[in-house]
């Protein structure tokens, strides 16, 4: 009995470690960022909100997350459209994820998730980070609204936030595996494996780890 209990605890610990590793690599959580905003050359006829939104995503691409956060906040301070507001919250969510962790991104993903697929994936990432089964099901239900429950769904992020189709299906594999839906977990893991061959790059480690967790070393 003690041996079985020990093995059960070990399995639960390994599950949490896999989820943590997946979040760290897929959502590229780290603690760096900053830099100086350079010249942009935007045309003057663009609205301030538009200019700041474009600047925010440029700074994000350059890894200057402090600057990106400042620009996205400026979008919300200026007169803006609903679409710009949603995009700014998506940017804030991913920039804060990179800066200080996905927990600080929660409020932004919450505000944008009903309108934006990248925010939905970010929200699912947050729920995954909680390691609570009920939240895993919430994440599955949310991603199902964009069709990601289907293994043949093609996920294309609107911005370069570090996600791609392979990582999206690896995320689904992790979620399904956590709630015990092994058939769907394996289907998404196999799809992630198939997609996990970027040109001139090695397979993404985050995807490899999840595929191995779901379908094992032998089949990978």
Q: What is the pLDDT of residue 208?
A: 73
Q: What is the pLDDT of residue 95?
A: 97
On whether the CB atoms of residues 220 and 211 are closer than 8 A, the answer is yes
Measured between alpha carbons, how far is 20 from 86 in angstroms, rounded to an integer? 27
Q: What is the pLDDT of residue 26?
A: 58
Q: What is the pLDDT of residue 210?
A: 72
Q: What is the pLDDT of residue 11?
A: 54
- pTM of the full structure: 0.78
Q: Phi and psi (nearest 5°) for 28?
A: 50, 50
* Higher-confidence position of 188 and 5: 188
Domain ranges across the chain: 1-29+117-220, 31-100
pLDDT digits (tens, 9 = 90+) for 38-84: 444 444 458 999 999 999 999 999 999 999 999 999 999 999 999 99
The predicted model gives 115-134 an average pLDDT of 94
Q: What is the pLDDT of residue 104?
A: 95
């Amino acid at each position: 009995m003690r041996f079985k209990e020990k093995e059960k605890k070990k399995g639960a610990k390994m599950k949490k470690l896999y989820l943590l590793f997946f979040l760290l690599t897929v959502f590229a959580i780290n603690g760096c960022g900053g830099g100086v905003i350079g010249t942009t050359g935007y045309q003057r006829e663009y609205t301030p909100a538009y200019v700041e939104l474009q600047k925010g995503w440029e700074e994000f691409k350059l890894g200057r997350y402090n600057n990106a956060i400042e620009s996205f906040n400026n979008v919300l301070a200026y007169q803006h459209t609903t679409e710009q507001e949603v995009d700014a919250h998506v940017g804030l969510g991913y920039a804060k994820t990179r800066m200080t962790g996905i927990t600080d991104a929660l409020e932004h993903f919450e505000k944008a998730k009903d309108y934006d697929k990248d925010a939905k994936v970010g929200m699912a990432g947050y729920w995954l980070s909680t390691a609570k089964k009920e939240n895993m099901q919430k994440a599955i239900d949310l991603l199902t609204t964009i069709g990601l429950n289907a293994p043949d769904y093609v996920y294309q992020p609107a911005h370069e936030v570090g996600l791609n189709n392979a990582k999206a299906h690896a995320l689904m594999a992790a979620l399904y595996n956590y709630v015990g839906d092994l058939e769907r977990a394996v289907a998404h893991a196999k799809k992630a494996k198939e997609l996990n061959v970027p040109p001139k790059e090695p397979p993404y480690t985050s995807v490899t780890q999840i595929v191995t967790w779901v379908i094992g070393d032998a089949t990978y």
